[in-house]
Every structure is written in structure tokens, then in C-alpha cells.
């Protein structure tokens, strides 16, 4: 892989801290992921500010609503020229089709299958009878048939999904270097394991942002890839 597949999740409450962190590690990541925390706090202005670093922007908004609403939201963020945007596959085929149709041609629309913070028990509690691997595969098939570019799944599932969807774009969060805590993530692998299994994008937040030395952490992860 020529380019750095790591997208840094900037889940920080302050815009100046987020910018400073991104600037510090910019040479050792491939892009920036801005999620709900960032977008709710800083909106379009914040995204414009981070764009100034010249790295691809991944807007991880996990849109999940009726098709008309999701399509309108996609149109509203078109101006931000995101490289990647997420929707929830559980929103259904029509929602995903309309989201893709409303996105800019340079934006990859990827569907979240099963959040990496969920395990078997969590799925049972919300009435899903399949285990995370089966459910992720089912939702990946649905996203594929709806014309999306790819999916978000854990490193446990990406290999099996990749076998069935050869040219899919696979975003994998829930990554933890060998040492360090899991936090709220339940289905984790190392960045290298995810890459070897076929991940296109490695989403990494706290292992870099909460490290004592974020630059050293980013370099150490880069060296394993």
C-alpha cells in the first residue's frame, strides 16, 4: 500500500486542540476523521479549518433517517467536499441508494454495519438474532447491492467481507496497538491485522490522541504497517 491508510479520529471538544493535534501528526497519517462530537460542536466552520491541512476529510456522521432526510443532509455537506461519508446500513436499501445519489462524485459513501463497540450480547439485547460476523456480512451485502462504495466493520469481519466484495472500500475502526486499553471498543484488532485482512482505511483515535506523545504514537503505528 503506497499511501498511509490511517485516518486520525479527531474526537476532541476544542477546535484549537484538534487542529494542533492534526498539525503535529500530519506527516504520519493519511487523513482526518471528523465525527459527531466534532461536527456538532464546530459544524461547517470546523471542517473548513481542518481542510487547510490539505489532508482528505472523512465525515463520520453515520446518517440514519428516512431516505428524503438523509439525501438532504448529504446535499447540505456536499460543499465540504468530504472524501468519505458514513450512513448506517440499518437505514435500509432505499436510504442508502438515495444517500449515494445525493453525494458528490468524489465522495465515497460507506455504510456502518455493526458498531465495533457491540458484541453478541448487545446484538441480542436489540433483537438481532445473528452474531456480529453474520450481521456485518448481511448488511455489507445490502450496502453493496444499494450501490455504496463500501462499508465500516471491525477487523474481525473485514477479511470475510473482502472475499465477497473484491473491489469494496473497507473502513475499519476498533483498532488498538498491542499495548493499551480497549476503552468502549469490544471487537478490536491491531492496525496491522486489519490492514492484512483487507482494510482500505484504518480509523485510529485515542491510541494517538490520548497518547502521552501523539507524534511518537502515530509514528509507531505507521512503522507497523
DSSP strands (E only) in 39-107:
57-63, 84-88
Pick one of 70, 87, 95, 112: the residue that binds ligand LLZGTKA7 (CB under 6 A). Answer: 112
Stretch that binds ligand LLZGTKA7, among 13-21, 76-84, 112-120, 157-165 (CB under 6 A): 112-120
**Residues within window 120-139 making contact with ligand LLZGTKA7, judged by CB under 6 A:** none
Residue 79, φ and ψ in degrees, nearest 5: -60, -20
| CA distance linking residue 170 with residue 108, whole number of Å | 11
Q: Is 35 in the site for ligand LLZGTKA7 (CB under 6 A)?
A: yes
Q: How far is it, in rounded angstroms, from Cα 154 to Cα 131? A: 13
Q: Looking at the DSSP assignment, which residues form a beta bridge with residue 86?
A: 110
Query: Quick count: other Cβ atoms within 10 Å of Cβ 78?
Result: 14
Contacts of 18 (CB under 8 A, 6+ apart): 10, 12, 38, 42, 46, 50
Q: Which residues contact 163 (CB under 8 A, 6 or more apart)?
A: none
Q: Tell me the binding residues for substrate.
A: 11, 33, 60-69, 116, 176, 185, 205-206
Nearest CB to ligand LLZGTKA7, comparing residues 32 and 146: 32
Which residue's Cβ has the minimum distance to ligand LLZGTKA7? 205
Residue with smaller CB distance to ligand LLZGTKA7, 11 or 49: 11
Asked if 115 interacts with ligand LLZGTKA7 (CB under 6 A), we say yes
Active site positions, annotated: 62
**Positions in the binding site for ligand LLZGTKA7 (CB under 6 A):** 9, 11, 35, 60, 112, 115-116, 152, 173-174, 183, 185, 203-207
Amino acid at each position: 500500500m503506497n499511501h498511509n491508510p490511517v485516518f486520525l479520529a479527531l474526537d476532541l471538544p476544542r477546535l484549537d486542540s484538534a487542529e494542533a493535534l492534526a498539525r503535529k501528526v500530519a506527516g504520519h497519517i493519511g487523513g482526518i476523521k471528523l465525527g459527531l462530537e466534532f461536527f456538532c460542536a464546530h459544524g461547517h466552520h470546523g471542517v473548513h479549518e481542518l481542510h487547510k491541512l490539505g489532508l482528505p476529510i472523512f465525515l463520520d456522521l453515520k446518517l440514519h433517517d428516512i431516505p428524503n432526510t438523509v439525501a438532504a443532509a448529504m446535499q447540505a455537506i456536499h460543499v465540504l467536499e468530504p472524501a468519505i461519508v458514513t450512513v448506517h446500513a440499518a437505514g435500509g436499501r432505499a436510504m442508502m441508494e438515495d444517500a449515494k445519489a445525493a453525494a458528490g462524485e468524489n465522495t465515497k459513501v460507506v455504510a456502518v454495519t455493526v458498531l465495533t463497540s457491540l458484541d453478541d450480547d448487545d446484538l441480542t439485547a436489540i433483537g438481532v438474532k445473528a452474531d456480529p460476523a453474520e450481521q456485518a456480512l448481511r448488511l455489507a451485502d445490502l450496502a453493496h447491492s444499494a450501490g455504496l462504495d463500501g462499508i465500516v466493520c471491525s477487523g474481525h469481519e473485514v477479511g470475510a467481507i473482502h472475499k465477497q466484495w473484491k473491489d469494496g472500500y473497507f473502513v475499519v475502526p476498533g483498532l488498538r496497538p498491542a499495548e493499551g486499553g480497549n476503552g468502549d471498543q469490544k471487537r478490536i484488532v491491531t492496525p496491522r491485522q486489519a490492514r492484512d485482512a483487507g482494510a482500505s482505511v484504518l480509523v485510529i483515535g485515542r491510541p494517538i490522541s490520548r497518547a502521552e506523545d501523539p507524534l511518537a504514537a502515530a509514528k509507531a503505528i505507521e512503522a507497523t504497517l
